A = this chain, B = another copy of it.
């Protein structure tokens, strides 16, 4: 992760087409000395802006734009077909990934001014690295360990015994409860709650008795957790989020869930207790995964799908129903609701 000063200097001087090609193993068509200073969307890009094209449609749009530098997929068009007199093209294998890397070089909003602001509550028995920043209104509880370069935003709560690895960025008002262990370079957005009690209940004569939740949450390196998402602590074992997992907003991850490395989970999805999700999975928005299931690596779950049994093989799985005009849908529903009648 890049610190603020180098960010600014990148943005000030920009990068030439040749420098981008050099850095990301690409090839220039057009003026290699042309400099890009900002990333921009195609439709409002100017001569100092960098855009990217991963499809024919993008490339056509780039051609009719004012963009100075276009990151273009190597095999999208022959070099001769590019209007490289008007702008510089950098041909790379993965323009979107290069764009992502440049976004961090040029534009990271995250800064790392070290120090503890007055108005932060830091327990004397907490350990905060000198290069970390604790903003006003944040709480760092006893026994917490805040790593190098970590930013803890205003009003964030860090519970007793929590460990946060180097380079983490915690946005204002997020909550990390006791004994959570967080790896390096983890981003936690505002309102996320890590380590609340799992929903552990026992029935006794028609009443629910709370089962104290004695496990913790372990979060790997380079994880990102979206705004207002919740990851509960384990009941007896721990809830485990693998390296590189990316979690969108308003996602619920219940107790004892394990999520394999580099899995992405879109907004409003919910994963019930003790489910084990593989690595490199993609879980669509609003999907629900029942408890105690196992899902293999490289599984894609479509939006608003309900996963009710384990999935042993990679592939795409779905149960979402696309909209229809309500009148049409109601007729289909009427038929669906008697589909299983004996004798039909």
Contact = CB atoms under 8 A, between A and B. Distances in A.
A319 interface: yes
Interface in A71-122: 94, 96-97, 99-101, 103-104, 106-109, 119, 121
A266 B201 CA distance: 11
A270 B103 CA distance: 26
Contacts of A109: 178, 212-214
Contact of A323 (B227, B237, B266, B308): B308
A298 to B, nearest CB: 9
Given A177-B190, A199-B266, A254-B267, A121 B137 contact: yes
A337 interface: yes
Give the oligomeric copy count.
3
A191 B195 CA distance: 12
A290 interface: yes
Interface string A305-344: 1111101000111111111111111111111111111001
Nearest to A236: B41
B193 A190 contact: yes
Interface stretch (A12-20, A56-64, A242-250): A242-250
Interface string A38-80: 0111001000000000000000000000000000000000000
B212 A108 contact: yes
Given A137-B137, A190-B175, A212-B103, A326 B331 contact: no
